[in-house]
Amino acid sequence: MFQSSLKMCVRLSSTSREGLRRISSSIKPVGAHSVRSKPDSLKQEILEYRHVYPEFLPDPKFEFRNSVREKLERNDMIARRQNIDIPEFYVGSIMAVESSDPHTPGKTHRFVGICIQRGGCGLRAHFTLRNVIDHQGVEVQYEMYDPTIHKVDVLKLEKRLDDELLYLRDALPEYSTFDPNMEPEILSEGTSVPVNTIKVKLKPKPWLERWERKNLQGVQDLELDEKFYKKAEEVATPWEKYDLMKEYMRTIPVEEQTEIYGELQTKLQKLNAQGKKMKRKRVFVKPTKLA
Amino acid sequence: MEHFAKENGRRRNLLFCTLWLSMALLSTNFSKNCFKILEDAFLKLSATYTSPQIRDRHVLNPKPRLRNPTWFIRKQRAETDEKLTPENEGFIKEVVQDKYNQTQPVEAISNVEWTPNLQRTGLIARKIGIYPLWKKDGKKIQTTLLQVLDNHVIRYYPPEEYNPPRKRPGRIYNKKACLLMGAEAADPSTFTKEYCGIFKQSGVIPKKTLGRFFVSPNAALPLGTLVNAMHFQVGNAVDVRGKTTDRGFQGVMKRHGFKGMPASHGVTKTHRRGGNIGGGGEKGRVWPGTKMPGHMGNRYRVAKGLKILRINTSHNVLYVSGQAIPGETNSIVYIYDTKLPLRKPVNPLPLPTYLGDVDENVPENIYDESIHSFSDPTVVYDESK
């Protein structure tokens, strides 16, 4: 499993420029001695948290860093997570968010959509959901630690081939249309997160961005003139992935990640156990049928 | 007989005086009495007489009016290789510890009741970052975190003793006393002897940062008092002074927010320039104060009237509203009770400072009533409202 995640990591780092800013890809391949000792496996388990809870890693910009602030921020995040179960999700997962709305007092507002973007760190962490409702594309950006959010459900846990799915805005509407009354799909425990390799068909130009320059994996042939691809090749900066200094500046070192998640581990495990208990309880409750 | 003689003498003196006044200018023998009369006469004259302007009277290099405060002393010692053995280094550390651990914590006493006119001391803090809090109505609010450092009172200057480097014109009514605070204890061996001398009186370990705060004499603190974040109260407003980010020599667009000029349509070589800087004719010169390129930042600025929304008592952190507080993250700022008349506190403040202990009875986080604590349940909008 770790091998696959490592591959994923390498692939992500090769495709991404902005998306996974906080995730360090400077992990040494463990290979043979991965199962040798227990502390190593524990370390790996801790390091897995960076995919599940990326927002616990601070902003790597060194001029904004302060250890006391980061600690206080994490404490606040844990305090909020004790009131609300924020499950594991990725860009490409289909989610439902229930939040209270000042214009409909006493009720909650539910929005279902595909997660097209995830970003921010600490209490500023946010994600964007997209859906097409009545032939109109709708996107809502939610802040993960906003106290007006009542519930975050993952209806379908999966990843896509790209870190950001902003190109769905220029894709045919059927690719971002999801049933608001969708039933949640439950994955059996222990399975890795499936990757949806669907290739999206984009509408013809004009687009919001020059998608041919973004090195997208999850789109079908763009059907452009040769000159566009030529220009894209000219502008591309394929050497950046080898720039170690840049890599260092935009990531949190592994040592620091293990320190941060090591501190959080017991709290996160407790939260997870709580979440599972709640899930089990929910399983036993008979679903009420809508009219 | 004697009496008569005296009387006679006096009369004679008077006569002399009158006589003398008539030829005062001629006389060279002045008496005290006459000096005064003359002075008055001259004063009357000077009131009506205006002297013509005397040019070239100024001194080319006048004495600088600015005099540094007494605690502006060379701080850092020149680094020399002392060739100390590890044992000796350990011994020096021990000596330092012994010297500064002996001092007993000072207990301030409060027997003065708080009134809005009393000015309390401020604090030295560090700006440690910005993060959002949410209000109870679900609105997000950006807050800046200011970590109050280990503030000790180093020196106290009573109002009559304090000699300010810059004299203010006019009479000063109810002059304030001055309190010198220090923050961030450091190894004294890195400082000069003179700098360490500042701390001798209070017995406090030498500090990296000093700050001067004006206080009412009634709100003064004894030397060596430790002041913490509980000095301030949630819901009150503070002024924060800090040194703005140094941006170096900047153009007019960044420095003053000018619009610049079009990128195209025949414009050449003037895209980020300011344009005209003055008119012609009678005003044919560049007026003083014209906004032009120059050095930007690295000067002290005060952000006023910021509300304290939350206090973390264990880490001494104030959560203050707003995200435009001068200074970079991890820079030193000075916090004062606000001077804005409409945001002055109504309820009594701890005077001269918070005197209780910060123990289990004090909650770790104190929130303003408008702020949603992260451990509170989710916000629900009430139907009745």
Tokens encoding B145: 């975190």
For residue B24, pLDDT over 60 is answered with no
> Which pLDDT band, with edges at 50, 70 and 90, does B282 fall under?
confident
Contacts 24+ apart (CB under 8 A), A4-12: A4/A192, A5/A48, A5/A51, A5/A192, A8/A195, A12/A163
Helix or strand run (H / E) with residue A119:
strand A108-119
Give the per-residue pLDDT at A6.
36
How much of chain B is helix, strand and coil, in % rounded to 5?
A: 20, 25, 55
Q: Mean pLDDT across the stretch A253-275?
A: 90
Q: Give the pLDDT score at B111.
A: 77
Residue A42 — pLDDT band, cuts 50, 70, 90?
confident
Contact A146 B134 (CB under 8 A): yes
Which helix (DSSP H) or strand (DSSP E) does residue B184 occupy?
strand B177-185
Closest in B145, B317, B378 to A148, CB measured: B378
Interface predicted TM-score (ipTM): 0.82
Lowest mean pLDDT among A45-59, B15-29, B108-122: B15-29
CA atoms within 13 A on the CB side of B259: 3
Give the Cα separation of B117 and B129 in Å (integer): 33
Q: Where are the domains of chain B?
A: 86-164+175-247+296-372
Q: Please give the residue of chain A at the shortest CA–CA distance from B311.
A: A72
Give the pLDDT confidence of B352-367 residue by residue, as tens digits.
Answer: 899 888 888 999 999 9
Encoded tokens for B183: 């923050």
pLDDT band at B295 (very low <50, low <70, confident <90, very high): very high
- Which residue, among A56, A65, A72, would best test binding to B if mutated, counting the most B CBs under 10 Å from its CB? A72
Q: Please tell me what DSSP assigns to residue A239.
A: G
With contacts defined as CB-CB under 8 Å, which chain B residues touch A101? 381
Single out the residue of A102, A100, A90, A83 nearest to residue A274, CA to CA. A83
Look over chain B and give the mean of its residue pLDDT values, rounded to a whole number: 86
User: What would the pLDDT profile of A143-196 be if each residue is shown by its tens digit?
Assistant: 999 999 999 999 999 999 999 999 999 999 999 999 999 999 988 888 899 999
Q: Which residues of B touch A150 (CB under 8 A)?
A: 378
List of E strands, A134-253: 136-143, 149-156
Q: Please state the CATH superfamily assignment of the domain spanning residues B86-164+175-247+296-372 in this structure.
A: Translation factors (2.40.30.10)
What mean pLDDT value characterizes chain A? 85
Hey, which residues does B212 pair with through a beta bridge? Answer: B180
By CB atoms closer than 10 A (0-12, 13-18, 19+), residue B135 is: middle
**Does residue B81 come out as left (phi exceeding 0), alpha (psi in the -120 to 50 range) or beta?**
beta
The tens digit of pLDDT for each residue in A102-122 reads 999 989 999 999 999 999 999
Among B138, B374, B382, the residue with its CB nearest the CB of A80 is: B374
For residues A125 and A143, the answer to whether their CB atoms sit within 8 Å is yes
In contact, B271 and B263? CB cutoff 8 Å: yes
* Cβ within 8 Å, pair B383-A105: yes
Helices (H), A116-253: 226-235, 244-249
Least confident of A218-232, A276-290, B10-24: B10-24
CATH of A2-197+244-284, one of 3.40.50.300, 2.30.30.790, 3.20.20.10, 3.40.1280.10: 2.30.30.790
Those residues with Cβ within 8 angstroms of residue B98's Cβ, 6 or more apart along the chain or in another chain:
none
- DSSP for B43-110, please give it: HHHHHH--PPP--S-S-SSPPPS----TT----BPPP------HHHHHHHHHHHHHHHHSSPPP----
Q: Where are the domains of chain A?
A: 2-197+244-284
